[in-house]
Chains A and B, each alone.
Chain A
Amino acid sequence: MIRDALKNEFQRIVGKDNVMTEPAELHAYSYDSAVLDQTQPAIVVRPENSESLGQVVRLCNENGLKLTVRGAGTNLSGGTIPHPGGVVCLTTALDKVLEINEEDLYAVVQPGVVTAKFAAQVAAKGLLYPPDPGSQAVSTLGGNVAENAGGLRALKYGVTKDYVMGVDFFDVNGELIRSGGKTVKCVTGYNLAGLMIASEGTLGVFEKLTLKLVPPPAAYKAMMAVFPDVMDASRAVAAIIANKIVPATLEFMDNFTIRTVENFRKAGLPVDAAAMLLIEVDGHPAQVEDDAAKVESICKDNKAISVRVAKDDAERNAVWQARRDALPALARVKPTTVLEDATVPRSKIPAMMQALDKIAKKYDLTIGTFGHAGDGNLHPTILTDKRDQKEWHRVEAAIDAIFEEALALGGTLSGEHGIGLAKSKYLKNEYGVGAINYSRRMKSVLDPNNILNPGKILGPLLA
């Protein structure tokens, strides 16, 4: 329980209506989208301007209160599950787009702006903000930067970090730290904005973000290629890249996912196909024609049974609807859906697919795999029921095995979901103890009371 005096202080800073302490309210902030145990905070606050945000941070530090900043709570690694008895600070009221600059191609936003709303405002000005995480309809830009979110367009356009020009943030003392800028080139001082990206709320609290915008492609073309064998599809992916073509999007769906989606939507997908690739090339119209033709022939050379090129926007939408349906369709098969994002170098996708197949058999689990084949970021999705304890133990073992395999292939623990609580125990397997110690030393200096989202990424700190 939080002391009355402190509650009053928070009320003074953010207003009475923006402080929540009732059990039901606290319970509603004890989870996020990750399949992990819930832990309850002692208080939830919702600042409406950056000044009060800074004061909240300072008050937490002065009183040693553990602070977890939360936007939409959609992250899949437990990054927004609060420390027990800590403070949750909501950014949902900090949702202003402060500037969209069409001359210099950047935008300045508050951290609570919803990604898709921002992208729509940018598009209305004839520009593009490329990062498009699957949760963009609700996820916030602050969360995207804190987790370094990816998306479908990452193959050609990169991930969130490639669009962050500056992050203004509060340090633990509530002092506003400026970093980066509005220029294309900016090498002044340490790259503090870079330090903030993917820091998952452990090093500072975002006040404002400066994001890069780009001109949208003039043309695009989508296609769907069907393969009799997963290995053929994987080889096609490698061949497309090796032929120096970088599609905007290159997505993969395995047979189980295809069948589940077809069962869900009845859109006439090839249920016998071992795998499908959904590809979009974009850019100058002439280049799009050229690339599309090349991609089509590469797929055929790699034994594609059919390649369907979308003739108009309706057909293009049908291609992408199949991809958008992957998660909803899989999510309906069983009550619990564990969506992983182990990532491997692109050339290792065939090996990773084989490994996933073995893991599913070994642990007797249903795993549907889809995801961003073009950048090696697959989403093996385990379908289970968490209430079945025996099966759940097998799920946990399978997750361990998936990460072990990804690392053995030279891959990484997370392509786009972040480490959070879910994967901190694997961190040393990827980077070794040195990187963890270095990170912990840095954290201990910047956040001596360890109040900023403790336990995330680095695990529990030993005092």
Chain B
Amino acid sequence: MADIKKLVSMLKELDDLLTGCMRCGMCQAQCPVFAQTGRETDVTRGKLALLSGLSEEILKDPEEVNEKLQRCLLCGTCEANCPSGVKVTDIFLRARAILTGYLGLPPTQRLIFRRLLTNPKLMNNLLSLGSSLQGLFTKDADSVIGTSCARFNAPLIADRHFKKLASKSLHSQTPHKDTPPGKSGLRVAFFPGCVTDKVFPQVGQAVLKVMEHHQVGVFMPPNQACCGIPALSSGETEVFDNLVRQNLDLFAKGKWDYLITPCATCTATIHELWPKYYGDKMDAVRVKDLADKVMDVSQFLTDVLKVAPKEAVTPTKVAYHDPCHLRNTLKITAQPRQILAAGGKYAAAELPGGPSCCGSGGSFNIKHYKLSDVIGRKKAESIAATGAKIAATSCPACMLQISDMLSKSGHSIPVKHVVELYAETL
């Protein structure tokens, strides 16, 4: 283990960011984790105090602080509502990198990040093997939502009702694409993201269908790497850099106007975090160029292609869940609703109690499943309360979580991506 003095001096770099917190505690009104536990270590103000305590050597156990720090969904709701404008996400990601550098990750997690995540080909092969074997270990849970659960006692799966890996991933259905711009005169680079590729290929196909319909050319290179958020939020900055570089090189091979993704998390990561955290500063121009051009698919459709909502005579109500990364980080809330209505068949139903995190939070769901479950069940209840027969969102990670929660709560409400519902009307 490295020298604690070194850890303290690294944490001191956060000092300017940390002192901005005036400890007013207004984050308590926003935090989905605090809402469940009522504990100060679970809310932003408390976590910032712990980091200050560690940097001032009042607290001496980095492991304990790290453990508390991990109990955060990185949903960004506190930051979006902080009176003092504290850069919470920035502080947490930097602190996680510092602490992971100091404490190290558990060996299996490190192996997955370093060997698997950075090697898209290997990961694709392994997961397609997994996809063909998963039936042996799982059984159907809810046929409408399309969830499964464990056939035998499996600690990692617990009582989850999960979406299985797709029998054929998007990249095996459509290994690559390189079409010229049609009437629109536009060409987009398409970054489906891992969850779309491996669990919801139909979302990827919906995007391709929509682009074809609007005569937009598509550049989709094979062997795309992960956007890097799992590595970055676990503090694995080298892995993050590796993934960003792979993607930069890959997308440099084509000419295109916008980079689009159907994943709120990927969009937010590329737009906000790539320019901020990519370590190779020599590459800053390439990163910035890409970050400036990335768009959520609904945003592209409404803001660029000017796809407008269509009045429906008797629209079907669709409960819409705002993914945190669109709502808090990118302030995109109107566009997905407009795309829902654009086909002239659906209308967005608002969730009682307003927008809130679904409790997924990427690896938070794995590390703190119980908490994730309580937060997610509330989300499922609020979706059910709208009386809508379909739930929709703009993030495949949220789709996974909401499917699990609806299925377990006995609400047979299918979960779709807004672009799927739009594509269906074309």
Q: Which residue of A lies closest to B68 (CB)?
A: A24
Q: Which residue of A lies closest to B46 (CB)?
A: A28
Residues of B within 8 A of A292 (CB): none
Q: How far is the CB of A139 from chain B (nearest CB, A)?
A: 8
Residues of A within 8 A of B38 (CB): 46, 90, 92-93, 95
B24 within 8 A of A: yes
Q: How far is the CB of B77 from chain A (nearest CB, A)?
A: 13
Residues of B within 8 A of A331 (CB): 22, 24, 83-85
A116 to B26, CA, bound (A): 12
A265 within 8 A of B: no
Instruction: Kindly supply a per-residue 1/0 record for chain A positions 79-99, scoring 1 wherever the CB is within 8 Å of any chain B CB and 0 otherwise.
Output: 000000000001011010000
Residues of B within 8 A of A403 (CB): none
Q: Which of A8-37 contact B (CB under 8 A)?
A: 20, 22-25, 27-33, 35
Contact of B84 among A31, A38, A337, A385 (CB under 8 A): A337
Q: Which residue of B lies closest to A338 (CB)?
A: B22
A411 to B19, CA, bound (A): 33
Q: Which residue of A lies closest to B40 (CB)?
A: A28
Contact of A137 among B26, B58, B68 (CB under 8 A): B26
Known: A73-B40, A90-B38, A328-B85. A31 touches B23 (CB 8 A): yes
Q: Which of A313-330 contact B (CB under 8 A)?
A: 327-328
Instruction: Kindly supply a per-residue 1/0 record for chain A positions 322-357, scoring 1 wherever the CB is within 8 Å of any chain B CB and 0 otherwise.
Output: 000001100110011100000000000000000000
Q: Which of B29-52 contact A (CB under 8 A)?
A: 29, 38-41, 46, 49-50
Task: Check A135 against B25 for contact (C-beta < 8 Å).
Answer: yes
A387 within 8 A of B: yes
Q: Which residue of A lies closest to B41 (CB)?
A: A28
A33 to B49, CA, bound (A): 12
Task: Check A32 against B26 for contact (C-beta < 8 Å).
Answer: no
Residues of B within 8 A of A20 (CB): 39
B28 within 8 A of A: yes
Contact of B40 among A29, A335, A336, A386 (CB under 8 A): A29
Count, chain A residues at interface, CB 8 A? 37
B59 within 8 A of A: yes
Please count the residue pairs between chain A and chain B whose beta carbons lie under 8 angstroms apart in the complex.
Answer: 87
Task: Check B19 against A74 for contact (C-beta < 8 Å).
Answer: no
Classify chain B: how many residues form its interface, as a range: 20 to 34
Instruction: Kindly supply a per-residue 1/0 record for chain B positions 206-245, scoring 1 wherever the CB is within 8 Å of any chain A CB and 0 otherwise.
Output: 0000000000000000000000000000000000000000
A300 to B61, CA, bound (A): 63
Residue among A24, A35, A46, A114 having the largest count of chain B Cβ atoms under 10 Å = A24
B3 within 8 A of A: no
A90 to B46, CA, bound (A): 15
Contact of A23 among B22, B29, B46, B59 (CB under 8 A): B59
Q: Which residue of B lies closest to A17 (CB)?
A: B37
Task: Check A328 against B84 for contact (C-beta < 8 Å).
Answer: yes
Q: Which residue of B lies closest to A136 (CB)?
A: B29
Q: Which residue of B lies closest to A22 (CB)?
A: B64
Q: Which residue of A lies closest to B63 (CB)?
A: A24
Task: Check B19 against A336 for contact (C-beta < 8 Å).
Answer: yes
Known: A29-B40, A138-B28. A24 touches B22 (CB 8 A): no
Residues of A within 8 A of B91 (CB): none
Q: Which residue of A lies closest to B38 (CB)?
A: A92
B53 within 8 A of A: yes
Task: Check B19 against A27 for contact (C-beta < 8 Å).
Answer: no
Residues of A within 8 A of B85 (CB): 328, 331-332
Task: Check B83 against A33 for contact (C-beta < 8 Å).
Answer: no
Instruction: Kindly supply a per-residue 1/0 record for chain A positions 242-282, scoring 1 wherever the CB is within 8 Å of any chain B CB and 0 otherwise.
Output: 00000000000000000000000000000000000000000
Q: Which residue of A lies closest to B27 (CB)?
A: A138
Known: A25-B41, A31-B49, A328-B85. A74 touches B64 (CB 8 A): no
Q: Which of B58-89 contact A (CB under 8 A)?
A: 58-61, 64-65, 68, 83-85
A135 to B29, CA, bound (A): 10
Residues of B within 8 A of A114 (CB): 29
Residue among A28, A33, A93, A116 having the largest count of chain B Cβ atoms under 10 Å = A28
Task: Check B53 against A27 for contact (C-beta < 8 Å).
Answer: yes
A119 to B61, CA, bound (A): 41
A359 to B84, CA, bound (A): 25
Q: How far is the CB of A308 from chain B (nearest CB, A)?
A: 25
Residues of B within 8 A of A22 (CB): 64
A331 to B85, CA, bound (A): 8
Q: Which of A75-129 contact B (CB under 8 A)?
A: 90, 92-93, 95, 114, 116
Residues of A within 8 A of B46 (CB): 28
A73 to B26, CA, bound (A): 10
Residues of A within 8 A of B29 (CB): 114, 116, 137-138
A288 within 8 A of B: no
Residues of A within 8 A of B254 (CB): none
Residues of B within 8 A of A137 (CB): 26, 29
A304 within 8 A of B: no
Task: Check A138 against B22 for contact (C-beta < 8 Å).
Answer: no
Task: Check B25 against A335 for contact (C-beta < 8 Å).
Answer: no
A458 within 8 A of B: no
Q: How far is the CB of B37 from chain A (nearest CB, A)?
A: 9
Residues of B within 8 A of A332 (CB): 20, 84-85
A295 within 8 A of B: no
Known: A22-B64, A25-B41, A27-B50. A73 touches B25 (CB 8 A): yes
Known: A24-B65, A28-B49, A93-B38. A72 touches B59 (CB 8 A): no
Task: Check B59 against A24 for contact (C-beta < 8 Å).
Answer: yes
A253 to B171, CA, bound (A): 59
Q: How far is the CB of A229 from chain B (nearest CB, A)?
A: 30
Task: Check B50 against A28 for contact (C-beta < 8 Å).
Answer: yes
Known: A24-B65, A90-B38. A33 touches B59 (CB 8 A): no
A22 to B46, CA, bound (A): 14
A379 to B19, CA, bound (A): 22
Task: Check B24 against A385 for contact (C-beta < 8 Å).
Answer: no
**Known contacts A23-B64, A27-B49, A35-B22; 14 further A-B pairs (Cβ under 8 A):** A23-B59, A24-B41, A24-B53, A25-B39, A25-B41, A28-B50, A30-B49, A31-B23, A74-B25, A332-B20, A335-B19, A336-B19, A337-B22, A385-B19
Chain A residues within 8 Å of B, Cβ to Cβ: 20, 22-25, 27-33, 35, 38, 46, 72-74, 90, 92-93, 95, 114, 116, 135, 137-138, 327-328, 331-332, 335-337, 385-387
**Complex A-B, nearest 3 residue pairs according to Cβ-Cβ distance, in ascending order:** A92-B38, A328-B83, A28-B40
Query: What are 9 inter-chain pairs, A to B, with CB distance below 8 A?
Result: A23-B59, A24-B50, A25-B39, A93-B38, A116-B29, A331-B22, A332-B84, A337-B84, A386-B19
